[in-house]
Homo-oligomer: A and B are copies of this chain.
Amino acid sequence: MKRYFYIVIVSVLVFQMGYGQIPDKKLSNLMPLPKEITFHEGEFVITRDFSAGIQENSSKRVKKAVTRFIRKLGEETGVFFKQGFPVSQKRDNVLFKTSYDREGQLNLFEDESYVLTVSPQGIQIDAPTDIGVIRGVETLLQLVHSNSKFFYIPSVTIKDSPRFPWRGLMIDVARHFQPLDVIKRNLDAMAAVKLNVFHWHLTDDQGFRVESKTFPKLHELGSEGQFYTHEQIREVIQYASDRGIRVLPEFDVPGHATAILTAYPEIASKDTIYTIERNSGIFDPTLDPTKEKTYEFLAAFFKEMSDLFPDEYIHIGGDENEGKHWDENERIRKFKKHHGFKNNHELQTYFNIKIQKILKELNKKMMGWEEIMSPDIEKSAVLHSWRGENEGLPDGESLINAVKLGYHTVLSNGYYIDRMHPVENHYLVDPHPKGVSLTKEQKAKILGGEVTMWSELVTPTTIDSRIWPRTAAIAERFWSPATVINLNHMKSRLEKVSLQLEKLGITHIKNANVILRNITKENDIEAILTLSRVCEPLKNYERNKGGTEYQTYSPFTLFADACTSDALDAKKFNDVVLRLLNDPNDKEVRSNVHQYLSKWSSLSSDLDRFDNPVINQVKPIAVNLSALADILSYCMKHNKISSTQLELFDKHIETAKIPVVDVELAVIPSFENLVEHFKKYEKAMNN
């Protein structure tokens, strides 16, 4: 019987708590929330004497993870530990101990559970596998708090395990190549929020990004020098494995294949000269599924890649092949007729079956985007559900179809973070579809989800700011109980997690400033930074109409690139306006609204002193914002709006709604709500 007084927090209650309820401060840095958490009285204080132990013959994974933990704990607390490395836990006075039963395998369904107990006397993590231990270590790091005098970890018992076994982040390195350090820091961040699949989209029309020793022209002609060598691939796989993350490579065939065909046009469906694509969109170059040569090529290629990538799955893409070149090619048309294929989908299925066979011989299972679905594909395949409203289809339809056909499936529809939607849009998407009745078996076929980071509009400088922090919230969706859905709690934790991510090397905050300094050409970015915090990049690829505005090598050092979805100040302002509308007499809220308005009021003149073509294009946004803030400030002061002011407001708000430099002002609805309020308020007062 433990001797502390138990403060039991029933998870369901905490996680579903409503607006206004204040969650425990001790949860404030945690994401994803664990399955079960019970805080006790007291805390473990972090001092110079902290020491971390590992069991006899501990796996390298645990040794490294605990070493990283000690390092991060030191950096977080500024405490100079006497003992900078893990020690044998047989020693006396080891304060943090880890134990596990067996080394985990980086396979689907591997046990990732752990139990973490913290008491004033010490810390203990126990898990069936070493992967569980490293998940627990990440939780532990998120439990560090401080008071004036010391840093501590609250006494707690956590029993945790993931809801879904497949929790992925896909990074497209084809459209914009992402060097090794980008990949590594994102793996660090993935580990911090317990994602376990790094889906590496390695090939596309715009580039072939992996060295091939079998077909060297692939990287020589298909990458413009931007590819990963085998040694680098192995380095990433090791790095991921150290963090309990699988690496799932994708080689997109038969479409999205311009880069492959630039190197080996002999397996193309059309006899032409191919060059690497520089625009975004869906293109026609496609492998020829009727030639034996194509399969010889793929058999040899996949053999090489199977040796390189240890994961049991290989993703073959298979998406967005419109088959134009198939239709144009008489030989292929004849082939279809000869085989009785009614359409290109059946021809592609023929192709996929052959690929699946090739992979099977290599002991690999096939994964593909939902377009590969067909009853003739073996059930070992995992279908990757991605299409939805944006593609004119019901959201998640393919997911349901897949499980009903008996396939395992992974959901990405709803997790397209490159579309620049606010975090809640993704957070509330559950891999288990709502309003659909599925059997337990069917539900179990839903393995989890994957966040997709397509890279048409990002460079190594900006990619982190598109992935993070929103992906941390999605990671919570994949890990935590389905009942964890409180938006306000998630958002407040996300702010903290965002800073944790930065400490891991994620550049989402700091690189925005770099871009803004490039725009002002000065160290002083206060004004433009303030502006950037109410502006959001256009959503749904509006920024890149038809995929032709931005090419691969266009500059991504513009104002829109420094802006993010969930614009920081806009979010806060919108919240406080909501509160004002609820209680127009709340003085604190009024003063808060006023502060924002007066800050924005001077923005236009603050920016005046900067003068170059880039910043001059941004200024109109500030002009409108300042004008609108002026009007609303006046209204706030006088609790009314005059007809002249209203006219001026309408004029500016109409201009403000027209996107400039690929961003939109994210406070417009709140401005309109405020004005509506004053209109009503005045009316009420006049009556």
**Chain A positions near chain B (C-beta within 8 angstroms):** 70-71, 74-80, 84-85, 146-151, 179-181, 229, 231, 278, 495, 498-499, 502-503, 507, 509-511, 513-514, 517-518, 521-523, 550-558, 568, 611-614, 616-617
| A151: chain B residues within 8 A (beta carbon) | 612-613
Say whether, besides A146-B612, A517-B499, A517-B509, A79 and B555 are in contact (CB < 8 Å). yes
Asked if residues B613 and A84 are in contact (CB atoms below 8 Å), the reply is: no
Say whether, besides A84-B278, A510-B513, A523-B495, A74 and B503 are in contact (CB < 8 Å). no
Asked if residues A611 and B148 are in contact (CB atoms below 8 Å), the reply is: yes
Closest B residue to A185 by beta carbon equals B181
A79 to B555 CA separation, bound complex (whole angstroms):
7
A74 to B558 CA separation, bound complex (whole angstroms):
10
Residue of B77, B523, B551 near A499 (CB, 8 A) is: B523
Residue of B510, B518, B568, B616 near A148 (CB, 8 A) is: B616
Given known contacts A78-B555, A503-B514, A509-B523, what 8 new A-B pairs fall within 8 Å (CB)? A74-B554, A76-B557, A85-B553, A148-B613, A179-B181, A231-B231, A499-B517, A499-B518
Asked if residues B553 and A147 are in contact (CB atoms below 8 Å), the reply is: no
A550 to B78 CA separation, bound complex (whole angstroms):
12
A525: min CB distance to chain B, Å: 10
Q: List 11 A-B contacts (CB under 8 A).
A: A76-B557, A77-B613, A80-B555, A146-B611, A148-B612, A150-B613, A180-B180, A180-B181, A231-B231, A509-B523, A523-B568
| 7 residue pairs, one from A and one from B, having the closest CB atoms | A510-B510, A84-B553, A181-B181, A146-B612, A75-B557, A74-B555, A78-B614
Asked if residues B553 and A71 are in contact (CB atoms below 8 Å), the reply is: yes
A570: min CB distance to chain B, Å: 15
Copies in the complex: 2
Residue of B146, B180, B509, B611 near A613 (CB, 8 A) is: B146
A79 to B79 CA separation, bound complex (whole angstroms):
48
A201 to B631 CA separation, bound complex (whole angstroms):
62
A463: min CB distance to chain B, Å: 14
A85 to B513 CA separation, bound complex (whole angstroms):
28
A258: min CB distance to chain B, Å: 17
A510 to B513 CA separation, bound complex (whole angstroms):
7
A76 to B514 CA separation, bound complex (whole angstroms):
12
| A75: chain B residues within 8 A (beta carbon) | 518, 555-557
Asked if residues A149 and B613 are in contact (CB atoms below 8 Å), the reply is: yes
A507 to B185 CA separation, bound complex (whole angstroms):
15
| A556: chain B residues within 8 A (beta carbon) | 75
A459: min CB distance to chain B, Å: 9
| A611: chain B residues within 8 A (beta carbon) | 146-148
A432 to B202 CA separation, bound complex (whole angstroms):
53
Asked if residues A76 and B518 are in contact (CB atoms below 8 Å), the reply is: yes
A478 to B502 CA separation, bound complex (whole angstroms):
37
| A614: chain B residues within 8 A (beta carbon) | 77-78
Residue of B150, B231, B514 near A502 (CB, 8 A) is: B514
A79 to B62 CA separation, bound complex (whole angstroms):
49
A250: min CB distance to chain B, Å: 24
| A149: chain B residues within 8 A (beta carbon) | 613, 616
| A502: chain B residues within 8 A (beta carbon) | 514, 517
| A518: chain B residues within 8 A (beta carbon) | 75-76, 499, 503
A84 to B522 CA separation, bound complex (whole angstroms):
27
A418 to B517 CA separation, bound complex (whole angstroms):
27
| A613: chain B residues within 8 A (beta carbon) | 77-78, 146, 148-151
Task: Give the most central of A80, A151, A498: most B CB within 10 Å.
Answer: A80
| A231: chain B residues within 8 A (beta carbon) | 229, 231
Task: Give the most central of A149, A229, A278, A613: most B CB within 10 Å.
Answer: A613
| A550: chain B residues within 8 A (beta carbon) | 80
Closest B residue to A225 by beta carbon equals B64
A321 to B369 CA separation, bound complex (whole angstroms):
63
A77 to B523 CA separation, bound complex (whole angstroms):
17
Closest B residue to A549 by beta carbon equals B80
Asked if residues B499 and A510 are in contact (CB atoms below 8 Å), the reply is: no
Asked if residues B80 and A554 are in contact (CB atoms below 8 Å), the reply is: yes
A181 to B178 CA separation, bound complex (whole angstroms):
12
Asked if residues B551 and A84 are in contact (CB atoms below 8 Å), the reply is: yes
A197: min CB distance to chain B, Å: 25
A80 to B503 CA separation, bound complex (whole angstroms):
34
| A616: chain B residues within 8 A (beta carbon) | 148-149
Asked if residues A522 and B510 are in contact (CB atoms below 8 Å), the reply is: no
A522 to B179 CA separation, bound complex (whole angstroms):
29
A300: min CB distance to chain B, Å: 24
| A180: chain B residues within 8 A (beta carbon) | 180-181
Closest B residue to A82 by beta carbon equals B551
Closest B residue to A182 by beta carbon equals B181
